[in-house]
Chain A
Amino acid sequence: DVKVTQSSRYLVKRTGEKVFLECVQDMDHENMFWYRQDPGLGLRLIYFSYDVKMKEKGDIPEGYSVSREKKERFSLILESASTNQTSMYLCASSWREYGYTFGSGTRLTVV
Chain B
Amino acid sequence: DQQVKQNSPSLSVQEGRISILNCDYTNSMFDYFLWYKKYPAEGPTFLISISSIKDKNEDGRFTVFLNKSAKHLSLHIVPSQPGDSAVYFCAASVKIQGAQKLVFGQGTRLTINP
Please report A residues at the B interface, Cβ cutoff 8 Å: 4, 9, 30-31, 33, 35, 40-45, 48, 50, 56, 58, 90, 92, 94, 96-105, 107
Contacts and interface: CB of A to CB of B under 8 A. Distances in A.
Contacts of A31: 99-100
Given A90-B44, A100-B102, A103-B43, A42 B107 contact: yes
A40 B106 contact: yes
Contacts of B4: 42
A99 B107 contact: no
State the main secondary structure of chain B at its contact with A.
Answer: strand
B87 to A, nearest CB: 9
A98 B100 contact: yes
A94 to B, nearest CB: 6
B17 interface: no
B107 A105 contact: no
Interface string B1-44: 00010100100000000000000000000001010100001111
- Chain B contact patch, size range: 20 to 34
B54 interface: no
B106 A41 contact: yes
A47 to B, nearest CB: 11
Contacts of B46: 99-101
Contacts of B93: 98
Contact of A42 (B32, B101, B104): B104
Contacts of B32: 98
A94 B105 contact: no
A102 B45 contact: yes
Contacts of A4: 43
B65 to A, nearest CB: 18
Given A50-B97, A94-B100, A99 B34 contact: yes
